[in-house]
Amino acid sequence: MTHVFDEATAVEQVSPGVFRAHTHPAYNNMVGPFGGITAATVVTALQHHPQAQGDPLSMTLNYAAPIAEGAWEIAVTVLRTNRTNQHFTFLISQNDGPVASGTAVFGTRRDTWSDTEYDFPSVGAPEDYAEQEFPEFIAWPRNYEKRFVEGGLNDITGPQPSSTTTLWLRDRPGRDLDYPALASIADAFFPRVFLRRGTYLPAGTISLTTYFHATAAELAEQGDDYLLGTASAARFGHGHFDQYGQVWGRAGTLLATTHQLVYYKDPQG
């Protein structure tokens, strides 16, 4: 049986470097698909490119317009292949109009001196925190088991002093972690402005950048276990905020860091 994530991120090469994908109702957001599933589909397409070498190191995806229900295309260009890394650009279109664009770098990982300098957040075990669900009208979070340590959905009852969310999460049903899944999870934090304003607001990612620190061996070690995500915003203003986030493996490995710029509309001004 195919996992719903694999159904949603499936791509088919329809001409050299051009891949067709389809929106999947299970990953719908309020308007259009969840940005994380689009990012995951892009990673899948890049990995399927016949010239792809190495594993994802970084990806930036700019969301220019909502993707409508149905088929969409991603056109991948291999810009340059160096000895240890490979640069891609890509354009996402639907009905011949551009809806998103971005760049990515794949690379080979050499053994070097290494250290994770940031600390693993001080949290209890996943089982110490109750599961929480998003409101019924948002589909995509149902594909993740979410156990909030702080800044959960139950706190969206009034303005909060902190935009930080920290949670344990994993695919539901379980699925072994890979780069597309990590790309999706890096965008699985709800908009930080919900916490600060204490209410749901129109908000959407404009630009998402994720750095994949995980090696293939670290992904394999993680398997389908819980991941720890944490995210916060530095500045809100003039209709935009940034979000900086980290995704850690259960064993304390920093698998990804991510940064995004988000649009919001605040009816109270």
146 binds a second copy (CB under 8 A): no
Q: Helix, strand, or coil here: 45?
A: helix
In the complex, least distance from residue 44 CB atom to a second copy, rounded to whole angstroms: 20
- Widest CA span in the chain: 53
Nearer to a second copy, 28 or 85 (CB): 85
Residue 68 as a binder of a second copy (CB under 8 A): the answer is no
Residue 241's contacts (CB-CB under 8 Å, 6 or more residues apart) are 163, 192, 193, 233, 234, 235, 261, 262, 264
- Judged by CB under 8 A, which of 43, 167, 196, 203 binds a second copy? 196
Report in angstroms how near the CB of residue 181 gets to a second copy at its nearest.
19
Q: Which is nearer to a second copy, 49 or 196 (CB)?
A: 196
Task: Examine residue 53 and tell whether it contacts a second copy (CB under 8 A).
Answer: no
Query: Which stretch in 43-51, 115-123, 148-156, 165-173 sits in contact with a second copy by CB under 8 A?
Result: 115-123
Instruction: Tell me which residues in 197-216 interact with a second copy (CB under 8 A).
Output: 197, 206-207, 209, 211, 213, 215
Closest CA to 171 of 205, 203, 146: 146
Residue with smaller CB distance to a second copy, 153 or 233? 233
- The angle formed by the CA atoms of residues 197, 198 and 199, to the nearest 5 degrees, is 95
Q: How many residues bind a second copy (CB under 8 A)?
A: 64
Identify the CA nearest to 25 among candidates 8, 38, 13: 8
The distance of closest approach from Cβ of residue 222 to a second copy in the complex, given in angstroms and rounded to an integer, is 15
Residue given tokens 């303005």 in the structure block: 159
Residues 78-107 that bind a second copy (CB under 8 A): 79-80, 82, 84-85, 87, 89, 91, 97-99, 101-103, 105, 107
For residue 128, give the DSSP letter: G
**Do 257 and 267 touch, CB atoms closer than 8 A?**
no
CB of 107 to a second copy, least distance (A): 7
Q: What strands lie across the sheet with 144-150, from one edge to the other?
A: 12-15, 18-22, 71-81, 85-94, 97-107, 55-63, 203-212, 254-264, 240-249, 227-232, 165-171, 144-150
Footprint of a second copy (CB under 8 A) = 57-58, 60, 62, 64-65, 79-80, 82, 84-85, 87, 89, 91, 97-99, 101-103, 105, 107, 109-118, 162-163, 196-197, 206-207, 209, 211, 213, 215, 232-240, 242, 244, 246, 254, 257, 259, 261, 263-266, 268-269
